[in-house]
């Protein structure tokens, strides 16, 4: 995941107007449950207005989702607008509140900067008849589920705890590839946190650390790695100073880009990134990275918009979709699973 100039790609939005249905639906996304149609549906030929409340226009991850939103809107007889909060949670809350008051959009797709603060305006949007789709990060207080946490929304997200566990699995596999025993001593692993003051990052970090320790890795360091090559390089300098024999390093794809530059040419260190950028794919394919956790963000944004438009027009759609199921390899990108594939965005 990427954020611009020291910003975190954090939480995401949700939505829908309908009641949850107990039956599955052919329109449901992979692993998703279906909702019933909205009681008041827009006409099939009515042009709808989509508002994309993305992290920031300058953020490549958000831009990937935006490309998908635009593609789905164009194909679905809708217009689309990027509402830029520039990673500011309070600003995003006010933007959504204003949009509800002005009835500016029929459908909103939200990458929430603050998944708790945005909850109230999301409820207001639903009450006003706006279809809301939560994209990428959960809205609500839980980080271990892809299920909607606000009644009536559509949720297409990557649960942070599942993300952390996926990173840990690839980290343990990297230890094995290096021939290291998983005995709590032999394989030294450094986990570069995103930020320690974001609930999403805290949930992901704990899940990753717990899984690494349970798998037998020796977790020797867990500094703040951030979401830029510069911050990753700084964190890695500190890791190498204290633990020159570190074997596996895990962090955001941007942080790993900076960190891996410090060990160029070494074959005794492998990296695991968190993000599906072209740079991450290249690192995996050249063998300097063991793997990277991939959410196909353009596909994610496109799918979120398609679901929102269908729901607003009265069709039954999935209420909950795990973003990892939008890849054939359940987000765990390795040299084998990424072979022949192309990334959906660049850092």
Domain with 183 in it: what CATH number? 3.40.50.2300
256 and 108 in a common domain? no
Is residue 39 in a domain? no
Tell me the chain's radius of gyration from C-alpha atoms: 20
301 shares a domain with 152: yes
Q: How far apart are CA 18 and CA 224, in angstroms?
A: 41
The predicted pLDDT at position 8 comes to 35
What per-residue confidence (pLDDT) applies to 40? 65
Specify if 347 maps to a domain: no
Same domain, 199 and 281: yes
Classify each residue of 185-220 as buried b or exposed e, where b means 16 or more C-beta atoms within 10 Å of its C-beta: eebbbbbbbbbeebebbbbbbebbbebbeebbbbbb
Model pLDDT for residues 8-48, shown as the tens digit of each residue: 333 333 333 222 332 233 333 334 444 433 446 888 889 99
Q: Spell out the per-residue pLDDT of the chain, length 347, in tens.
A: 443 333 333 333 333 322 233 223 333 333 444 443 344 688 888 999 999 999 999 888 999 999 999 999 999 999 999 999 998 999 999 999 999 999 999 999 999 999 999 999 999 999 999 999 999 999 998 999 999 999 999 999 999 999 999 999 999 999 999 999 999 999 999 999 998 888 889 999 999 999 999 999 999 999 999 999 999 999 999 999 999 999 999 999 999 999 999 999 999 999 999 999 999 999 999 999 999 999 999 999 999 999 999 999 999 999 999 999 999 999 999 999 999 999 999 98
d(CA 1, CA 119): 23
Q: Phi and psi at residue 218, in whole multiples of 5°?
A: -100, 100
**pLDDT score recorded for residue 185:** 93
Distance in angstroms (rounded) separating the CA atoms of residues 187 and 172: 9
Residue 72 lies in a domain: yes
- Nearest one of 199, 228, 201, 205 to 59, comparing CA atoms: 228
Which tens digits make up the pLDDT trace of 80-135?
999 999 989 999 999 999 999 999 999 999 999 999 999 999 999 999 999 999 99
Residue 330 lies in a domain: no
Do 284 and 171 belong together in one domain?
Answer: yes
Half-sphere exposure of 204 (CA within 13 A, CB side): 29
Query: 191: domain range?
Result: 161-294
Q: Does 344 fall in a domain?
A: no
* Same domain, residue pair 113 and 90: yes
Same-domain pairing of 167 and 290: yes
| Same domain, residue pair 135 and 176 | no
Q: Are residue 77 and residue 55 in the same domain, yes or no? A: yes
Measure the CA–CA gap between 228 and 194, rounded to whole angstroms. 10
| 334 is a domain residue | no
Q: Which long-range contacts (CB under 8 A, 24 or more apart) does 142-150 make?
A: 143/199, 143/200, 143/203, 143/204, 144/203, 146/31, 146/320, 146/321, 146/322, 146/323, 147/33, 147/319, 147/320, 148/14, 148/16, 148/319, 148/320, 149/14, 149/119, 150/14, 150/119, 150/122, 150/123, 150/126
- Nearest to residue 311, comparing CAs of 130, 147, 138? 130
Domain assignment present for residue 37? The answer is no
13 assigned to some structural domain: no
Residues 166 and 283 both lie in one domain = yes
With a pLDDT cut of 70, the percent of the chain lying above it is: 88
Domain count for the chain = 2
239 plus 90 within the same structural domain: no
Q: What is the pLDDT of residue 283?
A: 97
Which neighbouring-strand residues pair with 134?
A: 155
Closest CA to 281 of 249, 256, 247: 256
Q: The pTM is what?
A: 0.85
């Amino acid at each position: 995941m990427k954020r611009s100039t020291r910003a975190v790609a954090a939480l995401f939005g949700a939505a829908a107007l309908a009641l949850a249905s107990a039956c599955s639906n052919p329109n449901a996304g992979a692993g998703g449950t279906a909702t019933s149609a909205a009681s008041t549906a827009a006409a099939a030929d009515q042009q709808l207005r989509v508002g994309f409340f993305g992290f920031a226009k300058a953020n490549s991850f958000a831009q990937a989702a935006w490309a998908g939103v635009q593609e789905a809107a164009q194909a679905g007889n809708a217009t689309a607008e990027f509402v830029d909060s520039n990673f500011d949670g309070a600003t995003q809350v006010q933007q959504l509140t204003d949009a509800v008051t002005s009835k500016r959009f029929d459908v909103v797709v939200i990458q929430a900067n603050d998944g708790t603060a945005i909850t109230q305006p999301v409820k207001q949007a639903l009450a006003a008849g706006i279809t809301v789709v939560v994209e990428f990060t959960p809205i609500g207080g839980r980080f271990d589920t892809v299920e909607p946490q606000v009644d009536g929304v559509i949720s297409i997200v990557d649960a942070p705890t599942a993300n952390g566990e996926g990173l840990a699995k690839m980290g343990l596999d990297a230890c094995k590839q290096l021939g290291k025993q998983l005995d709590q001593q032999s394989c030294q692993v450094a986990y570069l946190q995103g930020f320690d003051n974001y609930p999403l990052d805290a949930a992901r970090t704990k899940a990753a650390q717990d899984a690494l320790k349970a798998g037998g890795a020796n977790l020797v360091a867990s500094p703040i790695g951030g979401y830029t090559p510069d911050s990753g390089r700084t964190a890695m300098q500190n890791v190498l100073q204290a633990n020159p024999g570190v074997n596996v390093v895990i962090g955001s794809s941007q942080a790993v880009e900076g960190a891996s530059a410090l060990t160029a040419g070494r074959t005794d260190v492998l990296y695991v990134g968190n993000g599906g950028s072209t740079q991450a794919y290249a690192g995996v394919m050249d063998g300097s990275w063991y793997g990277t956790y991939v959410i196909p963000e353009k596909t994610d944004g496109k799918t979120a918009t398609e679901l929102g438009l269908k729901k607003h027009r009265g069709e039954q759609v999935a209420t909950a979709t795990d973003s990892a199921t939008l890849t054939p390899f359940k987000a765990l990108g390795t040299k084998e699973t990424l072979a022949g594939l192309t990334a959906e965005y660049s850092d």
